[in-house]
Structure 1
Amino acid sequence: MKHGIKYCIMSRIIAIMLVVLIAFTLIASFALQSIQNTNIEKRGLYDAQRNQLQIENTLDEIYNLSSLFCLNPEIRSFLLTKEYRTPSQKTLAINHLINQLDENLLLDQYIHSFCIVDKNGTGYWNQCPYDNYFLSWFYSYAVDEGSLEEYAGFTNDYVFPPTQQHRAETQLLSHISNVCEVRDSKLSTIGQIIINLDLSALMRDVFDQNSLFSQIGILDEKGNILYLSSGNQQEFLKIADSLTLNFEKTKTGYYFVNTTSNSHWKIISFLSDDQVTQTTEFPFLAVMITVIFLTLCLIVIFISPILMNISKQIIKLEHAIDLVAAGNLNVSVELQGTRELNNIAEGFNRMIAKTKQYMKEALENQKEKQKVSFELLLAKINPHFIYNTLNSVIYLARQNRNQDVIKLTSAFIYLLQDSIHLEKNSLFELTETEVKVIEKYITIQKYRYADQFSFRCVFDPELKDTYIPKNILQPLIENAIIHGICPLERPGHIELNMKREDHSIRILIMDDGAGMEQKKADQLISCTQSEYAPKKSSKMRALGLRNIAEKLQFVYHKNYEFTVTSDPSFGTVIRIVLPIRTKEMTQENKFISNDPSGSSAL
């Protein structure tokens, strides 16, 4: 299916713009990739450093709290008291200490509990001071049955079972501080303070403020995992061991590494490519879609009117071309718009004007050519006829038949005047005049071929004012005498029959002479009716028939009939059917036009 020019131009412009925009998008994406990496690095480092500061501040609070506990005079006095007079006195002392610490110390939410351990290894847990349950669990899972003095500092993370105050398992991280005393210039340990941290509560604030990272892990100074927000611990340790820089790009995302200054913990934050895509793709695609949409709108607003105008002008030009193709040359085009459209319109109008001028000149040249060609056809017949007539005059002169010479010469002069006179319509002659020419011609041939043939003419009076091409009958009568009658050893008969039939003239020339085979007659017709290209022949019959055929072809193109029927036993019949032509038609059309439609109007 063929589309209009407006559709073709608009579709190609939109296609080109889309290709350019897509190419621009690809180039921009590659160019912005490095910028995006830089921005991600800056933002990631910023958020990772903020996490580091938050954890350092939390650790500082824990260190300060531990120092506060270690320097607390009541705790030190309780740990230095070796014996109480009664158990109830010790119980009262423990309750007073725990209650006073709970009331006076503002414990953050991430602090789960604390425990005071004396020199003998007895623990006093603030949630259950008289039960050694916590310390037993702590020795088993936090310090692996080791000495508390050896684990001064942070332990590994461990899971503590539910309690009355915490009804779910809790992931804890404990900090151990030694309470010391200087005696006799020597430092000795009199007990320990254990502060238990709720890792989930501790890191909750970090995650709430840092939605950028998809994974956060914390390693102690020995490389043990203190905390991992998600993922497999073994895989995380392998990746952590491979990281050497503060910022590294891997196949799956970006890693940021920070180390706390107060505890030498390594904080590893991971930002996955999927997370990067979620945070950056939508704004980028939204911008590109907006740019494409605005570009298409600009095309429609600014280019569409221009295309509409151009397409209208081209459609107008196409309509003019169709009219010219249909044969209407009285067409002119006026295109409005750009200079190029004006040039096209002027060029088209000049082309039509030149075409009209060329066709006019060609028609005039064709008419002149036809006139000259027809005069040449007449010239072909005249020498042939003159030759035969002069032979007859010479013959009579030798016989001293002066009256016959006068009669023959008078007839010859009549024929000669008729054939060479120059009138306005020399292509045609009255049918009645042509019959008189034949009668004069028969008079001449009677002297040449005395007593060898008889002649009869049947002329329809309705043909009196009609016209036929000049000099088409005489050569056919001559062929009937020479080639039909003369070869016989007996006299022959020739008849000319002219009759009107509707809008046609029927001409029959019949003789009972020698005749010929029909195959040969058909060959003569086939030869003589070729288009203006006469074939050479030594036969006078073929020469005469060819001249007649050329003349009829020239005058009537295909709107006529010319047949020859012959047989050696009965002679030859030549049949010609021509359209009726009156004097008015002859005056209006001087020359014939060989148009392919078969028109015979001169």
Structure 2
Amino acid sequence: MTRIRAFFHSIRFRIASILFLVIFVFLFTLMVLIRTIVTNNIKTNTIRHINEQQMHMDEGIALILDGISIIYNPLVENPQTLALLDEAVTKEARKTGFENLIQNMGINETIFSDIILYYDGNYYSGMTNETIFFDNEFGKTVQSSSALIVEGPIVSKTNGEKMLLLGKPFRSYPLQGYPGALLFGINVESFKDSLDAIDPAMGYTLLVSDLGLILSHPETKLVGSILLNYDALSRNSSSLSSLSQEKVLLVEQQSVKLKTQYNLDWTIISVLSEDYLFSGIRLLSINNTILALAMGIMALLLSLLVSSGLIRPINNLKERIKTSDIESEIKETEPVFADEIQELEISFNEMMKRIQELMELNAEESESKRKLELYALQVQINPHFLYNTLDAIAWLAKLKQQPEIERLALALARFFRISLHKGDKFITVEEEFQIIKNFIEIELIRFPDKFDIEYVIDPEIKNEQIMKLILQPIVENAIKHGISGMEEKGHISVKARCEGEFIYFEVIDDGLGFEVEKGYTPKYSMSSSGYGIKNVDERIKLEYGEDCGVTVESKPNNGTKVTLKIRKKKMS
């Protein structure tokens, strides 16, 4: 029992299971794909064939309705019809005269069950006496309509025969203007001959009006009823639905000729049995299932065989790993076969070597880390020692009444406090200007009355975070290389403004200047402190992007303007 449990938890079983599942899924997907393609092809070809048949059905139905015009025109143009509409003619004489007129025309009774004259609110049948079945309102509707043909109800005769009433008002000379209409009772059975173009074993076809009224159906009892789920069908499209107990395919097509000639929105719907259409596919599915089961068994045996060959060298490698010791010497073996497992074994040997190297390196790095921690502690102490020393010098200068030395010491202390700032990378714009002011105070003590300086800063950006020590090196360059060589007193202007998402700093001096076009930047590339224009430009581009940086405008004996462009820091 333990061995069986171990087998089901082994890699061999997992590999065999995966291979079997892959093959099984592939076969199952292939079966489904073949079935789907064949089903779609059958459905597409069937719909195309039925649509062609429905076009012929449409023409047949249009020919039946063409018979209305063939009867209507001779009737309205016949003087006898006009005579029947005379007010002096009695109802009985009008009825008898209209019957004789229709009988003399030789009407096809297989198509027309009745032809009715509606005049002055009364119905006069030309072929039967069943006017009691007629709706009085329909005659009025036809009389007042401007349509070519008015669709009416389906009525039943006493013999069970059903007819569809269609009406045409008096719109042609000489009856134009008379209050009446001609009604035509179409035998619904006549539609079946035009719609009976499909093999009965495959299905049947019905004719439906735009209101869902069934105009023709193989089962006469359903003619005249409403197709309740007709609204769920999309016109001019094919869809799956069910009008009966079995699953069917519905193919529908709007009657183009009837819409064009008579403005009738009738739809021809063919109801096809899916059992009949796809019976061959079901037999194919059974055969494919049997074949898939046989191939599945073969795939299972093949998976076990392949997994056994894969696991054997893995087990050998596992034994080597169990007996390996990182600190002992690694024994390398020559691969017999250059397969993936042997490559894994070679990689294992290399990994062991690498682990030994990393362990040695880790020991060295631990010692270096200990030394760096001691150095970091010392560096952390040094700035405080420097501040305290400068404060002590300032205090002694004050005691000795040396104001310039006191100012120098205090300015230098403030300069270092802000610039070092506990190692922070960013400070505010206001703090950067404070660094400049402390630096200028030191320079003015060294070179009194050598220059004057003004500061212009946009109040909105005083608290914006920027990289520290990007302005002081520029101001230092302006003093050393622009102002110091002048005999007269110089002037320096330091400005800061905001434009959109960018902050602009300008350092302008009226010093010696230089020729920028020739690339000549005497002593401008780097100051003695190590922070020159090039250094500041590279720092800005690394932090804010290539679209930011430093630009220089200068001309000999005409001063220098250095502009710094940085992007506002997004607040987290």
Place the TM-score, normalised by the shorter chain, in its bin.
0.3 to 0.5
TM (norm. structure 2) is: 0.37
